[in-house]
Structure 1
């Protein structure tokens, strides 16, 4: 849908450099205008005062810890923005540093008007390279922000050695093996590497990185959040898959942070892309299978307490009879 407004969700733990990045986006000479939504924790917001005095429209949502409140407020703000669609090229949502970005991401699944008018471009997580390892040891939010990310800005590189940076990247990969990483100092990544990436689009990801949904099992034990992925050769029965996924998300949705899959349905020349954020799921056909490519179905789960054998058996059981 060419008239959809791209939305970038900007997240990251307290002090990682989100507001610095946001200010750079708003002040650099890129010729685009953005509406900005700031989701703060607490009754009195200060982030709004830290954002540079730009021409952009800045909206503030407080008490951002409550999922339903966030979604309701965001839907209301987005609906109002749609009435002034011609005034900006994109929307940036900055979450509170204490936030699980899921409620914001889910907004683009659950509300039909929002789905029609906007497109989730990417979840960008800014990470403090100096302090991330400590944050991963003492808070679950830092892990969740990494798990949800389509793109990670590994910030404050001037404060760490190469060996420390490599270890931080290893820990990030243990949580989210397929995320794109960009190193930065003072959030100085090129703006076009952050904005307009279409990174939440599985089709675009697969064009750039065909092995994105690799058939290998990823399972690390040094983190509370892990990733497992599976591949099957026979076509997937849509009814079996929908029943299995509905039951799985109902039972384990709180632990399943992100689910992504490319499915081959019987007698169908198009690939089906499936995505879920916690218990909110969505899917659509994204284009034809390439001639000569094996029509294998792949799925990846990122979350907590993942039962690899059980998930593998469940996915395999969705295949049509051999």
Structure 2
């Protein structure tokens, strides 16, 4: 990268479902020390849970795209948004783009070169891929997108190192190296990384990408596996959080292979705070978020992503968790 390039640097954060992308985005916003950033968050589902969980900073502008992937159905929206943002060259220090966990990175990257009004004011700085050390093998086996994300990346964060052994980390790194021998690799827990290692690093090399894939800039249609889908469940009655945890742990055990990802904000009996529940295959977590604001509706919103899942089954299960 030429250091006299005055275009706005854009960092694309990819990674399969539940790898830790939103955690990384929040870490950047928490530690960016006055940088003025635009943050684009893309959700596969109908509503944006991740968008609600991204820190709202006075120096950051948040743009959300729901119910589609930047690599295909809402790619035109990305071009339009980047076209508007490039007009802020000189006042905007960077753009962060969090793709869905099911995004093919190549069509997203080609957007920066195919649209004249984008490439004139914005440069693609790096593809940062967050890898789930616990579930990498299963993700690679079941999803071609997971393979593409690792193979296409400039920087790989092997995340959740605190949940696996040193031997497992070495095996994961070897697998990543097999798919991508050129990427810089960092081991992280909770996506903790020195920002100097991932922001404004000039890691994206178009010539190198074209050597690997000469058709990289061609306009290819991307189609997701039709068996993979998502749905949103909403509940206005307070939830018994103990019942929720028992139910979801049971679902994770029974449907773990097909239940890729869940995430939700819950209105729970006995709590003044919003509760955030997430699961990645058979790993579930629950944490307090922030107090409910006086002007917001107290309700639960739960997004489920997976393969061959029955919405009615999950709706009945959630209804069974209502506090009585």
**Fold agreement, TM-score > 0.5:** yes
Tell me the CA shift for residue 65 of structure 1: 3.1
Stretches (4+) displaced over 4 A? none
2:280 equivalent to 1:277: no
Instruction: Report the Cα distance in structure 2 between the residues aligned to 1:83 and 1:116, rounded to whole angstroms.
Output: 10
Structure 2: gaps (5+ residues): 221-324
Q: 2:183 aligns with which of 176, 179, 186?
A: 179
Instruction: Report the Cα distance in structure 1 between the residues aligned to 2:37 and 2:108, rounded to whole angstroms.
Output: 18
2:42 equivalent to 1:39: yes
Q: 1:252-277, CA deviations, whole angstroms, 9 ceiling, x for partnerless residues?
A: xxxxxx5337xxxxxxxxxxxx9752
- Change in Cα spacing, 1:57 to 1:280, as seen in structure 2 (3 Å) is same
- Change in Cα spacing, 1:46 to 1:172, as seen in structure 2 (3 Å) is same
Task: Specify the SS of the correspondent of 2:13.
Answer: strand
- Change in Cα spacing, 1:73 to 1:31, as seen in structure 2 (3 Å) is same
**Counterpart contact for 2:70–2:108, Cα < 8 Å:** no
Identify the residue that residue 260 of structure 1 maps to in structure 2.
211
Q: 1:78 aligns with which of 67, 71, 82?
A: 82
- Change in Cα spacing, 1:6 to 1:66, as seen in structure 2 (3 Å) is closer
**Counterpart contact for 1:70–1:103, Cα < 8 Å:** no
Q: CA RMSD of the aligned region, Å?
A: 2.2
- Change in Cα spacing, 1:275 to 1:197, as seen in structure 2 (3 Å) is farther
Identify the residue that residue 199 of structure 1 maps to in structure 2.
203
Normalising by structure 2, we get a TM-score of 0.62
Q: 1:113 aligns with which of 95, 114, 117?
A: 117
Q: Which moved more, 1:99-108 or 1:119-128?
A: 99-108
Tell me the CA shift for residue 79 of structure 1: 1.4
Q: 1:4 aligns with which of 7, 14, 28?
A: 7
Identify the residue that residue 14 of structure 1 maps to in structure 2.
17
Identify the residue that residue 61 of structure 1 maps to in structure 2.
65
- Change in Cα spacing, 1:184 to 1:149, as seen in structure 2 (3 Å) is same
Q: 1:286-319, CA deviations, whole angstroms, 9 ceiling, x for partnerless residues?
A: xxxxxxxxxxxxxxxxxxxxxxxxxxxxxxxxxx
Task: Specify the SS of the correspondent of 2:131.
Answer: strand
Structure of higher RCO (CA pairs closer than 8 Å, 6+ residues apart): 2
State the number of aligned residues: 216
Structure 1: gaps (5+ residues): 204-212, 214-257, 262-273, 282-322
- Change in Cα spacing, 1:47 to 1:192, as seen in structure 2 (3 Å) is same
**Counterpart contact for 1:125–1:149, Cα < 8 Å:** yes
**Counterpart contact for 1:41–1:96, Cα < 8 Å:** yes
Tell me the CA shift for residue 29 of structure 1: 4.6
Aligned ranges 1:69-218 → 2 under 5 Å: 69-201=73-205
Task: Specify the SS of the correspondent of 1:75.
Answer: helix
Task: Specify the SS of the correspondent of 1:69.
Answer: coil
**Counterpart contact for 1:260–1:276, Cα < 8 Å:** no
Tell me the CA shift for residue 67 of structure 1: 3.7
- Change in Cα spacing, 1:189 to 1:67, as seen in structure 2 (3 Å) is closer
**Counterpart contact for 1:64–1:99, Cα < 8 Å:** no
